[in-house]
């Protein structure tokens, strides 16, 4: 029997691992991973992480086991693995693996965290390669699934996550188009209201945009990015995009930097909105972007 201890980033990127049924393989999640998923959901304003429901269902169906290292054990390995860059989850992963190894049981860690991988190698603990993970995932059975099965719930979750991303993009584009319509008709709108009406309207727009960002950060991020792109395009329109006619005056350069800044802020909001999703983990893994 090989024990595979799963990190939170694996659950986020490869949720299908929760529904695998492979002979002689025991998939294990440290309790600290569940706590971390909970904390992450609270930080992004969600009531709880939907993946916790998947884990609970997987435990009931026997595809996942939970380990809970006691306080003294964690304290011992916390001293042994003293490193300021290690989180409580990292300690739990490594401590669990060392405990299994000390009992002469086969154990591997499934993680994308390069720090954990490096320290695991120092203690001669095997880490699943990406190819090994993908080979495991090829065993995921999605044929003739019962509606209540863990496999069915995982597929529903992955479809919902994709739809949420596309919905955020769509809302961002629609909001940007509405902004363009309002911008093109701003003189007509202002002519219909007095100066105080204009001031109140601007204040309300600012408040609504703030609420929009807090409630729909992904959509707001796309909206902000497209606004930045539009602001830069508008700079080039008077010269018909003729580079030779451009005059890089202080005013032009400041507006150009302003457009770029808005684009960067938009991308920052997008990354923050997707950091705990499969897309966010892939971006972090490939480009080192996000936290």
Residue 145 forms part of a structural domain: no
Both 34 and 127 in one domain: the answer is: yes
Provide the domain count of the chain: 2
Give the rounded distance of the alpha carbon of 194 from its chain centre: 45
Tokens of 56: 């609970």
Residue 236 forms part of a structural domain: yes
Own/partner long-range contacts of 172-181 (Cβ < 8 Å, ≥24 apart): 172/218, 172/219, 172/220, 172/221, 172/222, 172/223, 172/225, 172/226, 173/222, 173/226, 175/212, 175/219, 175/220, 175/223, 176/222, 176/223, 176/226, 176/227, 176/230, 179/223, 179/227, 180/230
Both 99 and 217 in one domain: the answer is: no
Both 218 and 119 in one domain: the answer is: no
Both 28 and 115 in one domain: the answer is: yes
The predicted model scores a pTM of 0.81
Both 190 and 102 in one domain: the answer is: no
Residue 198 forms part of a structural domain: yes
pLDDT one digit per residue (tens) for the chain, 291 residues: 899 999 999 999 999 999 999 999 999 999 889 888 888 877 766 667 888 999 999 999 999 999 887 666 666 766 666 666 788 888 889 988 988 888 899 999 999 988 899 989 988 999 999 899 999 998 887 765 667 788 888 999 999 999 999 999 999 999 999 988 888 888 888 888 888 888 888 899 999 999 999 889 999 999 999 999 999 998 888 877 777 777 888 888 899 999 999 999 999 999 999 988 889 888 887 888 876
Both 174 and 134 in one domain: the answer is: no
Residue 150 forms part of a structural domain: no
Range of the domain at 267: 165-287
Q: What is the CATH number of the domain that holds 90?
A: 3.40.50.1010
Last residue of a domain, one of 105, 140, 175: 140
Both 38 and 135 in one domain: the answer is: yes
Residue 29 forms part of a structural domain: yes
Distance, CA of 203 to CA of 83 (rounded, Å): 48
Strand partners, 66: 29
Both 14 and 99 in one domain: the answer is: yes
Both 83 and 189 in one domain: the answer is: no
């Amino acid at each position: 029997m090989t024990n595979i201890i799963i990190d939170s980033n694996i659950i986020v990127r490869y949720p299908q691992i929760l529904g695998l049924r492979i002979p002689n393989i025991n998939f294990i999640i440290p309790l600290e991973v569940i706590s971390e998923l909970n904390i992450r959901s609270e930080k992004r304003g969600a009531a709880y992480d939907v993946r916790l429901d998947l884990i609970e269902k997987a435990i009931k169906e026997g595809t996942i086991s939970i380990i809970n290292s006691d306080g003294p054990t964690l304290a011992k390995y916390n001293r042994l693995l003293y490193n300021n860059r290690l989180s409580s989850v990292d300690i739990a992963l490594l401590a669990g693996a060392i405990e299994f190894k000390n009992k002469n049981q086969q154990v591997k860690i499934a993680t994308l965290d390069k720090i954990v991988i490096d320290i695991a190698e120092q203690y001669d603990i095997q880490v699943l390669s990406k190819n090994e993970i993908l080979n495991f995932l090829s065993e995921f059975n999605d044929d003739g699934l019962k509606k209540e099965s863990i496999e069915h719930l995982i597929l529903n979750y992955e479809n919902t996550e994709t739809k949420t991303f596309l919905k955020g993009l769509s809302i961002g584009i629609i909001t940007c188009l509405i902004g363009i319509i309002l911008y093109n008709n701003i003189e007509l709108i202002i002519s219909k209201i007095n100066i105080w009406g204009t001031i109140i309207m601007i204040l309300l727009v600012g408040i609504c945009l703030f609420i929009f960002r807090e409630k729909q950060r992904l959509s707001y991020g796309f909206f902000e990015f497209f606004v930045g792109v539009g602001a830069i395009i508008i700079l080039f329109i008077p010269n018909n995009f003729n580079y030779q006619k451009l005059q890089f005056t202080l005013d032009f350069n400041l507006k150009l930097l302003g457009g770029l800044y808005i684009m960067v802020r938009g991308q920052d909001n997008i990354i923050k909105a997707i950091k705990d999703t499969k897309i966010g983990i892939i971006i972090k893994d490939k480009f080192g972007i996000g936290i």
